[in-house]
Amino acid sequence: MTENHQGNVPSRQRKRFPGISSRAYEHPADRSALVALRKLSGFDTAFKALSGLLPERSLRLLFLSDSVRVSDAQFSQLNDMLRDACYILDLEKVPSMYVTQDPKPNAMCIGMDEPVIVVTTGLVELLDEEEMRAVIGHEVGHALSGHAVYRTILLFLTSLALKIAWVPLGTVAITAIVTALREWFRKSELSADRAGLLVGQDVQASMRGLMKIAGGNHLHEMNVDAFLAQADEYEKAGDLRDSVLKILNVLPRSHPFTTVRAAELKKWSESRDHQRIMDGHYPRRSEDKDTSVTDAFRESAGHYAETVRTSKDPLMKLVGDIAGGAGDLAGDLGGRLRNRFSGQGTGQGTKETDGKPGSGTADGRTADGETGDGQSEG
């Protein structure tokens, strides 16, 4: 059950973003995948028609029967925050939201037909109002991006592919698919963190919320700057062995590590992209259909290249050095080949010996009539 948000206004004055496209806040890697999927006309519609094959209906009944639905009568403060978030991001309909009994702080946005937001009692009890507002904005960001739809589709495809894993190399292929999906999921979480900041418009509250999720409700014992310093230490500490361990630790996760999320969000909050959105300059949903898939992938590739170039991680630095060295070598070889073939084309090429130019002929003999053996003079 959904309701129209028109007429509801935020509880305090915040900037609103009429018609904002999710492309405004999406991480480049997340955006490129979503742009490509959105271009597949009818793709998500076809799978929505197959929603009876998915556990979505069962989950809706489960939450309806064994959780508390947020409304004006139940968890009214959360209901106000939800309507505020939808108003700020201009989401046409307010998703249903449930509070479910679970001591572990968590939240999720699921569903193909109509998104459903679920928050746990552990999260409600852990966060203050402004921190919770950022979390609800995070989940509304998932809904606006269509993450719930596309995640469900791809998980369904993964489940289907598992049934044919007996095919030769099937296990390798499935592992590759799952690994790629998890990488996208992690980037989609960074996108949703940005949406949460656009809704809450309080970067310190966003930082506190992430810090509490990592360390619990002992705010007086924690410090945001020290927490962010952990992320910096995590990125640059250790040697190549630690770099490999980081990769192995993150591969099975659907979310990035909390300190990494905090550092990424802080960096984005200080970026020109964020400032432009706050100034009212952002892509509109009405322009989504004209978005270039090629441009989106090019931006994603550029982001990863920049990440490798600026990373303090030992392995990423090595990759960057190797790539840079290979590029220099390729450029040097290319220059030499161009010079050589250019000289042959005119029949007046030069022979370099320890950097000294010498006269030569088209048949490879030296000027005194001897055949050059390629050895340099002493």
Residue 38: predicted pLDDT = 58
For the question of whether the overall pTM of this predicted structure is more than 0.95, the answer is no
Residue 86: predicted pLDDT = 97
Average pLDDT over residues 350-355: 46
Where is pLDDT greater, at 224 or 40? 224
Q: Give the three-class secondary structure for 356.
A: strand
Catalytic positions? 139
Q: How far is CA 101 from the centre of its chain?
A: 30
Where is pLDDT greater, at 174 or 228? 228
Q: Per-residue pLDDT tens for 114-154? A: 889 999 999 999 999 999 999 999 999 999 988 776 666 66
**Please, are residues 282 and 20 in contact by the beta-carbon 8 Å criterion?**
yes
**Please, are residues 197 and 265 in contact by the beta-carbon 8 Å criterion?**
yes
Alpha carbons 27 and 330: distance in angstroms, whole number: 32
Select, from the ranges 203-217, 232-246, 287-301, the one with the highest average predicted confidence (pLDDT).
203-217
Average pLDDT over residues 357-371: 43
DSSP run (H or E) holding 94 = strand 93-94
Beta bridge partner(s), residue 359: 350
Residue 41: predicted pLDDT = 55
Which residues neighbour 110 within 8 Å (Cβ) at sequence distance 6 or greater?
56, 59, 116, 118, 148, 152
Residue 294: predicted pLDDT = 65
Token pair listed for 368: 């005194």
Type of residue numbered 55:
P
Q: How many CB atoms lie within 10 A of CB 154?
A: 19
Residue 96: predicted pLDDT = 95
Type of residue numbered 357:
P
Where is pLDDT greater, at 90 or 114? 90
Alpha carbons 137 and 193: distance in angstroms, whole number: 8
Residue 312: predicted pLDDT = 58
Residue 7 pLDDT level (bands cut at 50, 70, 90)? very low
Residue 371 pLDDT level (bands cut at 50, 70, 90)? very low
Q: How far is CA 163 from the centre of its chain?
A: 29
Strands 96-100 and 116-120: parallel
Alpha carbons 51 and 68: distance in angstroms, whole number: 24
Alpha carbons 190 and 361: distance in angstroms, whole number: 63
Token pair listed for 259: 């300190």
Where is pLDDT greater, at 110 or 223? 223
Residue 18: predicted pLDDT = 97
Q: Per-residue pLDDT tens for 273-310? A: 999 999 999 999 998 777 665 665 566 555 545 554 66
